[in-house]
Amino acid sequence: MAGELRCDSVWYGADLITMRDGQYNPITDGAIAVKDGVIVWIGPRAEAGDIQADNQTDFAGGIIMPGFIDCHTHLVFGGDRSHEFEQRLNGVSYAEIAAQGGGIISTVRATRDASLDELVSSARWRIDCLLAEGVTTLEIKSGYGLDEASEVRMMMAIRQLAQQIPADVLSTCLAAHAVPPEFADNPDGWIDLICEQLLPRVKRENLADAVDAFCEHLAFSPQQVARVFARAKQLDLPVKLHAEQLSSLGGSTLAAQFNALSADHLEYASERDVQAMAEHGTVAVLLPGAFYLLRETQLPPIDLFRQYRVPMALASDANPGTSPALSLRLMLNMACTLFRFTPEEALAGVTLYGAQALGLADSHGSLEVGKVANFVHWPLARPAELVYWLGGQLPCQVIYRGEAQ
């Protein structure tokens, strides 16, 4: 029983899908008491006792889920690449598009030309699409500036967005995303600049919460990534890695050896990679949007992740080139249909394990006492409906830090 408890708000009249331990762990006809934006009591309504609250909300049915966590996005950038999408569908190859000045370099050019205000405003409408579907925490990466000034401007935009929206926003420095055109013949020179100039500035000015890189034959080698990670660790910045998306280079093992929060994509991860991730507590972040848009046929090793008990998170990978995804809920369905997730696994992937991939598992991702009061009421009968419905915007009430939005 809660006994006598004074709090700011109490929310009841719905079944609570707590996602404790990455499972539904439901509480039928539950109640949640919130004080100072934190859950201070949770349990069956019948056991709530004498809870005194300034605000009381009775939902009269439905379910309450933890707020969704989108742990891998590239939402800040200039321009758009819809014309390239159309070109590809009309038979123009990616190599031809790149030769015409397209591909990631076109986004780099547009991002460099964009002002801070333009980056913020163009990202805002994309973010609003995610918020409308119950996202209350998201990560946003840099990586389309590819020079010091533009990378810093991107991270400043991310920090500004964090002050404007009702969601917890984390910034990740992904300067090692691609080789800048100015360093085409000297990629190690760009790595030098990242390690010697950019990352110390990122730390000094508190521009990012983590450091990421792209380990792939068309980006950076494991040896180059190791240099970036070693510098990040010296600066006490957590790391994560785009790894094994297009080929097997052992990036996931490298990431795990640096105790990375996550390794992301992972279509070509080997059993050795999975073992290393399990040993070091590195989360597997799977991105079905990019898998779908690129018409990939190599599935991530889902059964190995299950076998070795590697937590599997899901994210939108929202970006202008390979995953223009503005619906995290659609990613839930894709994970189930394309990757053979169960609905419970998919929902754990955007709640508790999404939080773990951001280093937030102690404060976010499940409905438990002591965690932030980020949750969503859905007028639905069961959690699987969130995965089942394709398209459309399901009605919901978002509560962020204990306040209805």
Known binding positions: 72, 74, 81, 144, 177, 242, 245, 317, 319, 321-322
- Residues marked as binding for Zn(2+)? 72, 74, 242, 317
User: Which residues have CB under 8 Å from 354's CB, separation 6+?
Assistant: 68, 69, 70, 71, 137, 313, 314, 315, 365
User: Under the phi-then-psi rule, with left for phi > 0, alpha for psi from -120 to 50, and beta for the rest, what region is 115?
Assistant: beta
- Residues marked as binding for N-formimidoyl-L-glutamate? 144, 319, 321
140 DSSP β-pair partners? 171
- Residues marked as binding for Fe(3+)? 72, 74, 242, 317
Structure tokens at 180: 């800048």
Please enumerate, as own/partner, the contacts of 337-342 that have beta carbons within 8 Å and a separation of 24 or more.
338/288, 338/291, 338/292, 338/299, 339/286, 339/288, 339/291, 339/299, 339/300, 339/302, 340/302, 341/302, 341/312, 341/314
d(CA 173, CA 140): 9
**CA-wise closest residue to 232 among 200, 192, 266:** 200
- Residues marked as binding for 4-imidazolone-5-propanoate? 81, 144, 177, 245, 322
Please enumerate, as own/partner, the contacts of 28-31 that have beta carbons within 8 Å and a separation of 24 or more.
30/64
